[in-house]
Structure 1
Amino acid sequence: MEIFLSAVFGELATRSVSFFVNKYSKQQMQAMEINLERVLLRAQVIVDEAEGRCITNQGMLRQVSMLRDAMYQGFYALDTLRYRAFEKDCSGDHEVANNSWALSKFSCAKRLCLSSSSSTKTSQELQVEEALDNLRTMILDVSETVMFLTAYPRLHRQPYNMHLQMENCMFGRQMEMELVLNFLLHTPSCSSRLDRFDVLPIVGPGSCGKSTLIAHVCNDERVRDHFSQIAFFCHGTARDEDIAILTDRYAHNRKLLIVFEVVGELSDDLWQRLCYLSTSCATSGSKIIITSRSNKITELGTTQTMTLKDLPHEAFWYFFKVITFGSTDPRMHPRLAYLAMEISKTLKGSLVSANITARVLKADFSIQHWCKILKFTRGSVVEKHQSMVGAHPHDRLTETKPKPLYLRRLGQTSADLFISSQYQTCSSQEELPEITLQDVLYGGVKPRGSFKVLAWKSPLPPYRCYIFACEIQQLQTRVVKRRRSLNNSGITRVGVDASIA
């Protein structure tokens, strides 16, 4: 009896202490949430005002860019704090784990679980405090910059920048755009091996926004007024007739801007043609912009190379949240917001995947549908592909030489979608496929044989369309092909193909 009473009183004391600690911790976190919201509002006002100005000072651009990154980190910490309570409610893994070791209310194991959850809260408190301190420091650092912002003229907003939907506006490349504009409009000509041309190399992985950045720059009225002609050479081609037309039409020494998008490697012969073009039909002040996935083009630059990277995870989550929920406030659907955060982690910064997945999620605002998409993207797409080839699908598609992919289809276990190649085109250049990647992965469409799918059509200039060459492959067929290839090569291997494991 005494042992039972001591256990009861001990449990009551433990629960009382836990109640007061949790109540104090909850009040403290609510105060931190309010403070972080206020500081984020101040940071957003400064960033929005800076983005509306034509800033030419590179130091000021870097300061604003650092403040923008800190703002995205703050929004990510705030959302993590808000939606952490729904982790166990929305995750089937936690439910299975809880049911598998159901113990009594007085068990020591449950106390260990409570202590681990409190440690998780402590780490989240530290994350919020770090984001709050970082934002406050950045706002103090740019206090003088805010005073100088009014000295810069306001930007002329073009029609496609007036849309309220974020997918219709360039996101996360404001500083890079201003740097390219400064190179084109304000950087004086320098002597180089091209004699008349200054060259800006832009390097970055596939689908990171190089073409979109250049299109926005070239659509700027200041750039169009500064150069007599803007010539585009895409997909690594510069034909003799193209150069002849430019040479004949602009033989009177006018300023020329050449945008050259390299696909693969830039050959010496092609570069020599551009050198000939620079000396035959352009005057001092003409410039070249070269974009490529390869770092080899950095040797051709006469100025510092601009390197584009995928968006940081915090900025990518901000973008994915906005295009997924649209005008709907995520705080009205906290469970869906938590699921969206988990889904964004599996996409690894892919803008194409973000737009496809957001469209699928917006089709059905239900917990069951979003849980199904999370389970599919996390297990059938990412984990399966990494176990097969040791890399994320986004990494395979954005390499200098993209490699084939095997993707599982939603609800299908007997066949995979084999993506053999991909390429980009403009909607006006060729007829687009009627089947979309969304239909094949998430819908009931099952084409036969080899076919092409439209992965995504960008609503931004230059309106690129991403097309994949695909094939539905049965698992048994792949096993037979694998065994035949091994037999023909004289290799004997025990076991099954790793692609179906």
Structure 2
Amino acid sequence: MESFISAIFGELTTRSINFFISKLSKPTTLDVEDRLRRVLLRAQVIIDEAKGRHITNQAMLLQLVMLGDAVHWSHYVLDTFRCQFHQEEDANNQGVSRSSSLSKVNSAMRLYSRGAKTLKDLQGALDNLSSMILDVNELVLFLTNYPCLYRQPYSMHLQLANCMFGRQLEAQLVINFLLHVQPYGADEELEVLPIVGPSYVGKSTLVAHVCKDERVRARFSEILFFHIQTFTDDELATFRDECELKHQNRVSESNLEARLLVVIELIGDLINEEAWGRLYSASKRYAPRGSKIIVTSRFDSIVKFGTTRALTLKFLPHEAYWYFFKTLTFGSMDPEMHPRLTHLAMEIAKTTLGRRGHLSANIIAHLLKDNFDVKFWSALLAFLRRYSQKLVSQFGGHPADSPNQNRPVLFERMATPSECIVLDHRCQHPSEEEIPKIKFQDVLCGSVMPRGKFDVLAWRSRIPPYHSYVYTCEIEGPKTRAVKRKRSMKNGVTNC
């Protein structure tokens, strides 16, 4: 009997010791968070060092892009972990109609479930980022073989605000196309690179940055830009006269290497394929050997006219967009010191309807920076959620994604919901043109009250090609809306 009891106590003791050991060895959420922070610092050091080097190897660039994606995902997981208290608070506020005891039980269950998921996400981000750092060990060794780039010591928010975020790989692919030399004696071919992507995704920005590269400028004697609606005979007749000269090298007339780079920005769809064929044949006949063409469009119809694989631009992944948007919004301030505002910013970043680009990030970030207040951010989040829901119900998504992207859109003002703004036209103006004095943010929030139709400045880019994004607006009161409702629906105006 004594031996039996002793065996039982021995088994219980062993299990207890194993239980406590497993508890002690199992990492807590805070432990994983701390380790992830340290690994993030190591990854950021590698990325910053690589950005200061003139890297041309595509495999290395691809590795850096993958490492950057892992960094963005890790930051997103960390920020989600920091904001989970405010997420739970919002969930409780939405369920105020339930009984107090039931609400507490549901809250406890959500916290437990969310805590387990958070730990899993943190551990997953840590494992993925640690593995990525091991994979780039050889890359770190080779970095010193590449020349340094001159860069001023900007803070991160200034650096991101003045650079083309998230397009390093795409830029290098375009540069490689432009610098590629056909084998001597091969059939002479005028190479064409199509660049396709939705409106405001950054096609013009990408090309402008590439054309500022010193290697590209040294290779081409002239860089010409041509904006065209579609290829018609009338437009082709004035093609050379309407080209905008962006760069010119002083070369000798006897220099047979006076290459041309022609950038065609196709605004509409490619309807007249015969006209394109004539343009290509004429360009091939008269352009010096080594000249090249880049065609940008939001329509896939240009892909078949490329002599090389088309480059397709997409909007930023959600995690990368959040990293960019957060940095622009908080600037030199530490988001960890403002957890409630960080949570609101994360929710605001989710209202883009998939159009996660530089334009939306800059417009909203500047609006938030100018009104650094929880009450205003909460009001803006509610407004953007209503606006997004109405766009989905009316258009099935963002109106800029439709073929008729400039159709009028009507939505309420934030300050006075009884009044609406009719957004009638959206366009990009070159930097040298005169821009409106009125800002769209001021009209939206109610600080200015113009009458009739007027132009407003949505955002002025600080990076090439330095476009100013201008909207044509009109404010309508309740009476005007009632009178115009039938006529607006006939004209295609959608009430949002």
Q: TM-score range by the shorter chain?
A: 0.7 to 0.9
Quickly say closer, same or farther: Cα 1:273–1:474, change in 2 above 3 A.
farther
Quickly say closer, same or farther: Cα 1:287–1:157, change in 2 above 3 A.
farther
Q: How does 1:52-131 map onto structure 2 within 5 Å?
A: 52-89=52-89, 91=90, 94-98=92-96, 100-103=97-100, 107=101, 110-131=104-125
Moved more, 448-457 or 292-301: 448-457
In structure 1, what is the equivalent of residue 209 of structure 2? Answer: 216
C-alpha contact 2:92 2:103 (8 A) present in aligned 1? no
C-alpha contact 1:87 1:338 (8 A) present in aligned 2? yes
Task: State the secondary structure of the residue aligned to 1:419.
Answer: strand
> Any stretches of 5+ residues in structure 2 without a counterpart?
1-19, 246-250
C-alpha contact 2:195 2:296 (8 A) present in aligned 1? yes
C-alpha contact 2:259 2:290 (8 A) present in aligned 1? yes
Q: Structure 1 residue 330: deviation in Å? A: 0.9
- Is 2:47 aligned against 1:42? no
C-alpha contact 2:162 2:463 (8 A) present in aligned 1? yes
Q: Structure 1 residue 346: deviation in Å? A: 1.1
In structure 2, what is the equivalent of residue 268 of structure 1? Answer: 273
Quickly say closer, same or farther: Cα 1:482–1:408, change in 2 above 3 A.
closer
Q: Under a length normalisation based on structure 2, what TM-score does the superposition of the two structures give?
A: 0.83
Q: How does 1:374-453 map onto structure 2 within 5 Å?
A: 374-379=381-386, 381-391=387-397, 395-402=398-405, 403-428=407-432, 430-453=433-456
Match of 1:471 among 446, 470, 474: 474
What whole-Å deviation, never above 9, does each CA across 1:290-317 have from its counterpart, x for those lacking one?
Answer: 1110111111111111111011111111
Task: State the secondary structure of the residue aligned to 2:83.
Answer: helix
Cα distance in 2 for residues equivalent to 1:407 and 1:485: 13
Cα distance in 1 for residues equivalent to 2:261 and 2:131: 41
Moved more, 160-169 or 210-219: 160-169
What whole-Å deviation, never above 9, does each CA across 1:432-491 have from its counterpart, x for those lacking one?
Answer: 222221111123222222222221111111111111222223455444444468999xxx
Q: Structure 1 residue 322: deviation in Å? A: 0.7
Quickly say closer, same or farther: Cα 1:224–1:432, change in 2 above 3 A.
same
C-alpha contact 2:458 2:469 (8 A) present in aligned 1? yes
Cα distance in 1 for residues equivalent to 2:452 and 2:212: 41
- Is 2:311 aligned against 1:310? no
Q: Structure 1 residue 109: deviation in Å? A: 5.5
Match of 2:296 among 287, 291, 297: 291
Cα distance in 2 for residues equivalent to 1:233 and 1:159: 36
C-alpha contact 1:243 1:277 (8 A) present in aligned 2? no
C-alpha contact 2:156 2:327 (8 A) present in aligned 1? no
Q: How does 1:123-202 map onto structure 2 within 5 Å?
A: 123-157=117-151, 164-186=158-180, 188=182, 195-202=188-195
> Which amino acid counterpart does residue 74 of structure 1 have in structure 2?
S
Q: Structure 1 residue 343: deviation in Å? A: 1.0
Q: Structure 1 residue 241: deviation in Å? A: 5.1
> Which amino acid counterpart does residue 499 of structure 1 have in structure 2?
N
Moved more, 436-445 or 294-303: 436-445
Q: Under a length normalisation based on structure 1, what TM-score does the superposition of the two structures give?
A: 0.82
Quickly say closer, same or farther: Cα 1:408–1:283, change in 2 above 3 A.
same
In structure 2, what is the equivalent of residue 494 of structure 1? Answer: none
Q: Structure 1 residue 26: deviation in Å? A: 12
Quickly say closer, same or farther: Cα 1:162–1:110, change in 2 above 3 A.
closer
Q: What is the identity percentage for the equivalent residue pairs of Structure 1 and Structure 2?
A: 47
Moved more, 295-304 or 402-411: 402-411
Q: Structure 1 residue 415: deviation in Å? A: 2.4
Cα distance in 2 for residues equivalent to 1:55 and 1:298: 28
Moved more, 409-418 or 275-284: 275-284
C-alpha contact 1:165 1:323 (8 A) present in aligned 2? no
Q: How does 1:287-366 map onto structure 2 within 5 Å?
A: 287-347=292-352, 348=354, 349-366=356-373
In structure 2, what is the equivalent of residue 492 of structure 1? Answer: none
Match of 2:259 among 255, 259, 269: 255
Cα distance in 2 for residues equivalent to 1:449 and 1:422: 17
C-alpha contact 2:410 2:494 (8 A) present in aligned 1? no
C-alpha contact 1:160 1:168 (8 A) present in aligned 2? no
Quickly say closer, same or farther: Cα 1:384–1:399, change in 2 above 3 A.
closer
C-alpha contact 2:157 2:332 (8 A) present in aligned 1? no
